[in-house]
Structures are given as C-alpha cells and as structure tokens.
Structure 1
Amino acid sequence: MIVSERTYRFSYNAWLIILAVSLIFRVPATILLILFTIFNLVFFKRLKFTRKRLFFILLIASPFLLDLLFFWNNDVFTEGIKHAEKRVSLLLLPLFILSQNHRLNTILILRYYALATTAILSFCLIRFAIISPELFNKYLNGIDLWEMGYEFARSIKMHAPALNLHVAFVVVINFYFFKEALGQIRKTHIVWRFVFFLLSLIVLFYINTRLAIVSVFFGIILVSLLGNKAVFSAKTFKKLAVGLVVFIVLGIGFVKLFPYSIQKFSNVTFAHLDKVGKIDQLENPEAEAFNGLVTRLSIWKSSLEVALKNPVIGVGAADGKQDVVTYFKDTNQQFLGKYKFPVHNQYLDFWIKFGILGLVVSLFYVFLFLYIGIASRQVLCVFFFILFASANFVDDFLIRFDGIVFSGIWLSIFTKNALDIKLDKLK
C-alpha cells in the first residue's frame, strides 16, 4: 500500500491517541488493539530494527517473556495460555512503536489523550447522574459514600482503582499543559487548559481512590518544580502555588459535600490493625474491614507465606491466585476465603507465580519508567513511575488488561521518545 510519509506519520500519531483513550473501555480497546496490530503488519516494511531498539523491546516485554519461560509450571496448560495472552501486548506494543523510523509527536499524543479522556469521563459522570439519580442523590445526602466511585466505574464497566490510574495520569498531564500555558501570551490557552484541569480533578475526587489523590498531589509538585527543566524560580513556585491551591480548594469543597472522605482516609483506612490475619474475629468484617488497610495487610501476610513455600520457581501464572485462596481456607481465614481476594500487590503476585525471578522482573519493569524518565528528562514519565509503582504496591495491574496495555503503550511511547532524543544528540 502506497502512503506518503506525512500521511503515515499523522495516522500513526492518531492511532496512538485513539488507542490510549480507548483503554477506559475494554471491548473497544481490545478491538482497536487488534486493528492496530493489523495496521502495523500492513506497513511492516516501514519498521526498522536496531540492536538498541530490540534490547528495549525485550525489556518492556519481560513480563510476557516470564509467561513463556515458566509456561511448563502451570498445572493446566490452557489456563497458562490465557494468562500469557493477557500480556502478549507487552511484546506487540514495543515491537511496533519502538521500530518506527520516524519521531513520534509525544507532546501532541499526551495533550490530545488528556483532552479526549477528560471530555469522555466528564460526559460519563453527567450520564451517571442522569441514569442513576437515586445513587447520585444518595451520595449528595451522605449515604453509602464509600461505594460512589465504584458505582460510577461500574457504570462504564471498569474497576475503580484501574480507572483512577488513567484519571490520575490525565490530571497531571492537564496540569502540565496548564502550567506551560501560563507562560503564553494568549489568555484563551490558559482558560481552556485550566477548565480541563479542573474537570479532570472533579472526576478524580468523585471516584475518590486514596492512592490516586495522593499521587496527583505529588505529581503537581513534581511537574511544577521540574517540568522540562529543573529551574527553581519565583515563577516556578507561582505555578506550583496555582496548582496546589486549585487542588486543595477543590478537595476542601469535596470534603464539605462528601464528609465521609475524611473518615475514609483516616478511621476506615487504619482501623483494626491489631487484627491482621485475624479479621474473622471482627463482628462484621464486611462493614468494618472491607476497605481497610487491615484487609490488605492480611492478604499480603498470607501471600508472603505462600511465596516462601516456592521461592525459586513459583507455582505458575495460572495457579497463583488459587494457591493464595486455598491458603486462606487452610488457615481458617473465612472472610478472605469467601471473597477470594487476589494478592493486591504486583510484586508479591509475580513472586508467587514465577519465583524470585518474577519479583525481580516486576520491579525492573516498573523502575524502567524511572530510568527512561530521568535519562530523557521526561517529567511525565517520572510521574508515571510514581503512579504505577505505588499502585502496584496495593494492587496487581499486570494481571489486568487495563493495567497491562496502559503501562505497555506509555512505556513504549516514552522509550521511543528517549531513543529519539539520544539519537538527536548523537547527530
């Protein structure tokens, strides 16, 4: 197929924007990922592989390569195939993106991804208020506020913590471009970028996942102080102040409207820590501990004990969760066994499944964001590291389609940009 270089570059940037935005909806995202693969196969002759590109392709694909290396360790091979299939995108995305022989317009991709995602989620929030007025009114009256973010996420068929990964990233991207607009002459740029920053903050506070809110707070500080260059000036601190004031004012307003948030961040989170591993001693574990740190700590305690039973080779990708659930039941932890909780810690999860090499690869994969961000001075990549590393400490996003593709596409884009920057310096 004959396509001009200009048309091909434009279409490729558009593909990456559309694919990244679609990740908040699993079915369309899956279809688009397949079509993106076909698109790259059609234009396979345009791909160029170098040793350095292949090296980073293998690094990004390392979680998928673990599936292949330890495939023999699954009790049921068909289940092993299902788990490997989830992570095959970690091979396809870097294979196609890093092998492009033209520069990606990373800034344009980030900007339009954030704008489109903010617009779509704002529309979804308005839709939620219309189609579920009884839930929306219930929250406004302060009833069952703990579930409001989950119900909104379910309305678009997504898990709230996974959705918050996208929202937190989008909030910080919007702030990044709002901060850049403050130095421009045209006031309209400042206004509409501030509006999108504000809209994304509202969505973040509504979904109300604790870790995402804390990550955004530090992300705003990081982007304000660093940006493209580490310059500590009065102008820099002015930009920081603007972002933090908006964040804090909106946060205070949200707490006034939904006072349960304070309880969620304090009493609910840190209650019953003396019951780690003994949650069944509580009178009503569902009401008292379901969203508390004690549940996470109890899961981690049992998961660590499972990991230490097979520390070298693990139990296999398909058998990890079942082994943990079986351990809950064997140790008479009825509450944890009833709800069949996953590990909720990606590093422990990979240790259980793939042994000590799984632990090393999971840490390496996450820290690759930090290395790429620092090496190429991409502050948003550094923030992605903070967001993804902390999120995987309390959850396991490399076993979920949204977490796998979400991290894979952005790590590939940031790495491609870093390689292009280094090539420009060499020239």
Structure 2
Amino acid sequence: MPNLTSGRLGPVQNSKMKHVGVFMRVNLLSIAMALCIGLLPWNEKWNTISIIVLFAGVLFDAVIKKRKYRLDLKRFFVGSGVFFVALLWLPLSDDLSTGWSYLERLLTAALFPLLFSMVVKYCKLNIRYIFFAFMASCLFRYLFFLGGLLEFELLFILDYWNEVLIQFNQFFKQKALHPSYFSMYLGFCAIICFYFYSISKSLRQRSFWIGSLFVFLLINLTLASKMPFVATIAALIFGVAFHLYKTSGSRGRKRYIVGLVVGLVAFGVYIYKVPNVIKQDIGNYYDYFSGKNSESLYDYNQYGTNYSLETWNRTNRIHIWKSSISLLKANFLLGVGTGDIRAELNNQYLVDGHPYLSNKDANTHNQYLDYFIKFGIFGFGILLFCFYTYVKSALNKSNPTYLMFLILALMCMFTENILSRQLGIVFFFFFQSLFFFSESKEVKTSACTN
C-alpha cells in the first residue's frame, strides 16, 4: 500500500497517474482539426461535414466556458482577404449564380482565419497530430488507388512492374482526385518529413524521416504533375539551405550534404530510367519552343489514357495563357467580376480560334491571372498585399516550415487555379491560417488553458 501520509504514490499509482497525464495532454481540438484536414483527400462532402462539426464544437466550447475574444480585425481581414475581395467584386458580375457558387466554395477562406484567430488565444495546438494525420491520410489514399490498379496475382512477374511504372504516371487522372492537387498534398507531406527530420535528435529518427521524405517524392513523381513536383523541390532546397545555415559545426554540415547528394543522385537516376510523362512533356515543350514538330519520347497510349499529342497541342497552357492575357488587357482596371470569368474566357477562346478550349470550359490554369482578370488591378493589388503579408509573417517568425509551405502553394498557383476548388481552398487556408495566427515560431505542443 502506498504511504498516503507522505504525499507520495507507489510505483503502480505513479504509473497510472503518468498514463492519465498523457491522456490529459491529448489535445482534443488538435485531434478534431487533424480529422478535418485528414478527410480532405478522401471526400469533399465528408470534409465539409467535418469543418461544420469543428466550428460547432469550438463555438459550443466558447459558449460553455464563456470565453471573451478580442478579434484582431486587421490580421483577420488580411488572412481572409481573398474571400472579401471576391465578395466586394460580386456586384460587377452579370452571372451572379456562378459568383455565389464560388463564394460558397470560398467560405472556408474566411472561416479558417476566424477559427484560428480565436483558438490561438486560449489553446496552443499540437501541430504533430495535424501533420501526422495529413501524412497518413495522403499515404493511405495513394495506397487505396494503387490497390485498385494492381493485379495482385501478377506482382511476382518482373515484366508486369514495367507496365505498372508506365501506368503510374496517369492513373490518377482516371480517378476522382485531381492529380495536381494530390501532388501538392504529397509535396507538403515531404515538407512535413523535413520538419520532423530537422527537429529529430537521434540518427535513427533522422534516417526514418529522410527516408520517408524520399518515399513521398517518389510516389509524387508517379502523378506526373510538373509544377507541384518542381515546387516541392524548390521548397525543400530552401529548407535545406536554411537548415545548413542553422547547423553548427563543419562535420555536421558535411555529413548532411553527403547524405543529401547521395539521395539526389539516386533520385535523379530513377527519373532518368523510369518512363514518365514529365520527361515526355519536357521534350514536347522543347520541340514547341524550338519550332520543331512534337515527337513523343513515349507513346501516350502506354499510359492507359486517351491523352495524345493532338490533345497536348489543343489544351496547351500556352494557348490558354495567351487568351487569358488578351482578356486581361481588355479588363485591366476593374476586372470582369467574381462570376463572369468563365463566360468571358470562353468567348475569348472563340475569338482566338480555340473552340476546343471553349467547349471544355478551360480555366486560366494560373491563379494570379484568374484573380487579375476577375478583380482588375485594384483587387489583385489587395491580394498581392495579403500574400506579401503571409510571407513577411513567416520571415518574422523565422518559421522555415511556413515558408516552405508558401513556396509550394504559391508556385503551384502559376499553373493551376488552386483557390478555385475545395481541394485547394481548404488545404491552403487551413495550413495558412494555422501558421499565420500562431504566436510562436512553431506552433507549440500544449493542452488548452481554461
């Protein structure tokens, strides 16, 4: 029996209290947020429901505990600037239905900044729960798709794997999840791995996380989405440079550089040896700009899709961007409004002799062009100020993970309208708000305070 009068507990009671302490430190809000963002790669409807439940839980907690909030309006409006600019420019639209539909998708661009501006006042989130959940979700989502592609009775036939490697490049385009968005998710998973690598102390932990980083890069490559992959590499290069700058001792830096070089060489050999659409497109763009006829390095039909060189020529982003710039010149000052860009751009495609793009309702495939055309120089200037503030905030906090996230997302916006679909809106504004409204350099691990 423990000596109760001494104020000490015996080993069994001590162990129980330790487990209770661990359980109490589990931040339920962090788990709820982890579930919210973890559902995003799986189903947009489930993700929407999880966001509603998350907000309802936070508001209920606020009412029960009678918390009083002092909302920093300036930071809130900057954090949700995209939503309010879209709202202000809605009256300029003739197609109000499309405009309202976009605002409905964009609502989380205001809700997440509101949520995180409230939460960080009384609760320090456990970012590890959120990161782990997002990585696990993306990995299992990939394996789920892969399981539907493989014929398991052929796995032990070596020639079959060559067929699998070829089909890997395009099989996501046949599924519900857009490859560009999922490639961006996997890129952020690689950044998360680097984050855990940078804070790990033991060699075993560091080896695990650097190995995991290259795994996410390899499976990212199979999606054949060029800009998200390049943006991931650019973000990681920045992270490596920052980490080298912070690493003390020449011996540690040398080992770090040697390991990195070995990994990059192995990765480069993989890219060179394995057939993939990225090499195909690089060759096509080289031929295009040099005035040659496009010649395929690999037959597109090998990738198990209806994609062809004819399709590549008709849907090329160069044609899309030329038409988008022509439309921008005609609406430079105030833009076309929040809801009219699709109709205006389709008309411009017809004028420029691209009926195929008009029939397909091809968007600008550049988020900056999209916003410039919608909101003109004034609205676009406001959004540039918002994005500048995000970068400045990351620099002021000396938060490399935040900066790497922004490099990834902002680069992806050059070739995809990331903030036009729920897949991109929720991803960007969830993590952007998480980093932007945190008070510290890194979001700390702690339980909520009462």
TM-score with structure 2 length normalisation? 0.78
- Contact 1:165/1:212, CA 8 A, preserved across alignment: yes
> Of 65, 73, 76, which aligns to 2:92?
73
Q: Computing the radius of gyration over CA atoms, which structure comes out larger, 1 or 2?
A: 2
Counterpart check, 1:219 vs 2:238:
no
Asked if 1 retains the 8 angstrom alpha-carbon contact of 2:402 and 2:435, the reply is: yes
What is the alpha-carbon distance in structure 2 between the residues aligned to residue 137 and residue 358 of structure 1? 56
2:261 and 2:213 map into 1 onto residues whose CA distance is 12
Structure 1 residue runs without a partner (length 5+): 1-5, 280-285
**Is the CA contact 2:220–2:229 (under 8 Å) kept in the aligned structure 1?**
yes
Query: For the Cα contact (< 8 Å) 1:90–1:405, is it kept in 2?
Result: yes
Per the alignment, residue 33 of structure 2 pairs with: 16
Matching residue within 309, 318, 329 for 1:297: 318
CA 1:153–1:296 in structure 2 vs 1: closer, same or farther (change >3 Å)?
closer
Q: CA deviation at 1:405?
A: 0.9
Larger deviation: 102-111 or 398-407? 102-111
Name the structure 2 match of 1:357.
378
Give the length in aligned residue pairs.
Answer: 403
Output the amino acid matched with 1:256: K
Alignment equivalent of 1:112, drawn from 125, 132, 137 = 132
Question: Conserved in 2, the CA contact under 8 Å of 1:228 and 1:379?
Answer: no
Q: Cα RMSD over matched residues?
A: 3.5
Equivalent residue number for residue 245 of structure 1: 262
Given the alignment of the two structures, is residue 176 of structure 1 paired with residue 195 of structure 2, yes or no?
yes
Q: 2:388 aligns with which of 331, 354, 367?
A: 367
Name the residue aligned to 1:44: 62
1:373-418 alpha-carbon deviations (Å, 9 max, x no partner):
111111011111211111111111111111111110111110122x
Aligned mates of 1:246, 1:223 — CA distance in 2: 16
CA distance in 2, matches of 1:274, 1:12: 55
Corresponding position of 1:87: 106
Shift of 1:15: 1.6
Aligned to 1:256: 273
The residue that corresponds to 2:301 in the other structure is none
Q: Is the 8 A contact 2:76 2:114 kept in 1?
A: yes
| Paired residue secondary structure (1:311) | coil
Q: Percent identity?
A: 18
Paired residues of 2:181 and 2:424 also in contact (CA < 8 A): yes
Deviates more, 1:78-87 or 1:243-252: 243-252
Contact 2:150 2:164 in 1 (8 A): no
**Distance change >3 Å, CA 260–CA 314, structure 1 → 2:** closer
| Partner-residue secondary structure (3-state), 1:377 | coil
TM-superposed deviation, 1:130: 3.0
User: Which residue of the partner structure matches residue 13 of structure 2?
Assistant: none
Cα distance change, pair 356–143 in 1 and its aligned pair in 2 (3 A): same
| CA–CA separation in structure 2 for the residues paired with 1:353 and 1:44 | 37
**Aligned equivalents of 1:143, 1:111: Cα separation in 2:** 30
State the 1:269 CA deviation: 3.1
Which residue type is aligned with residue 342 of structure 1?
Answer: N
Aligned to 1:341: 362
1:164 deviates by 1.0
Q: Distance in 1 between matches of 2:259 and 2:130?
A: 22
Distance in 2 (CA, whole Å) between partners of 1:392 and 1:359 is 14
2:51 to 17, 27, 33: 33
Decide whether aligned partners of structure 1 residues 137 and 29 sit closer, same or farther in structure 2, where only a CA change above 3 A counts: farther
Query: How far apart, CA to CA, are the structure 1 residues paired with 2:411 and 2:230?
Result: 10
8 Å contact 1:346–1:397 — kept in the other structure?
yes
Change (3 A) 1:93 1:361: same
**CA distance in structure 2 between the aligned counterparts of 1:202 and 1:423, rounded to whole angstroms:** 29
Alignment partner for residue 337 of structure 2, among 307, 316, 323?
A: 316
Q: Which one of 379, 397, 406 corresponds to residue 385 of structure 1?
A: 406
**SS at 2:46 equivalent:** helix
Hey, what's the Cα distance between the residues in 1 that align with 2:265 and 2:62? 49
Correspondence 1:51-66 to 2 at 5 A? 53-66=72-85
One-letter amino acid of the structure 2 residue matched with residue 42 of structure 1: F
Q: Secondary structure at the match of 2:316?
A: helix
> Residue 107 of structure 1: CA displacement?
4.0
Q: Do 2:83 and 2:107's aligned partners in 1 also have CA atoms closer than 8 Å?
A: yes
Shift of 1:201: 2.2
| 8 A contact 1:215–1:386 mirrored in 2 | yes
Q: CA deviation at 1:365?
A: 3.7
Rate the CA distance shift 1:144–1:293 in 2: closer, same or farther, 3 A.
farther
Q: Distance in 1 between matches of 2:359 and 2:158?
A: 32
| Structure 1 residue aligned with 2:420 | 399
DSSP 3-state at the match of 2:437: helix
Contact preservation (8 Å) 1:370, 1:382: yes
Cα distance in 1, alignment partners of residues 62 and 134 from structure 2 = 29
2:183 match: 164
Cα contact 2:36–2:51 (8 A) shared by 1: yes
Shift of 1:144: 10
What is the match of residue 282 of structure 1? Answer: none
Match of 2:122 in 1: 102
Say which is worse superposed, 58-67 or 215-224, in terms of deviation: 215-224
CA contact (8 A) 1:299 1:343 kept: yes
**Cα distance, 1:77–1:221 mapped onto 2, change above 3 Å:** closer
Structure 1 residues 110, 195: closer, same or farther in 2, change over 3 A? farther
Change (3 A) 1:349 1:225: same
Question: 1:122 deviation in Å?
Answer: 4.5
SS of 1:99 mapped into structure 2: helix
Counterparts in 2 of 1:344 and 1:190: CA distance versus 1, 3 Å:
same
Structure possessing the higher relative contact order (Cα contacts under 8 Å, 6 or more residues apart)? 2
- Alignment match, 1:124: 144
Q: Distance in 2 between matches of 1:228 and 1:249?
A: 21
What SS does structure 2 have at the residue aligned with 1:271?
A: helix
What's 1:267 paired with? 283
Q: State whether residues 369 and 381 of structure 1, in contact with CA within 8 Å, keep that contact through their aligned partners in structure 2.
A: no
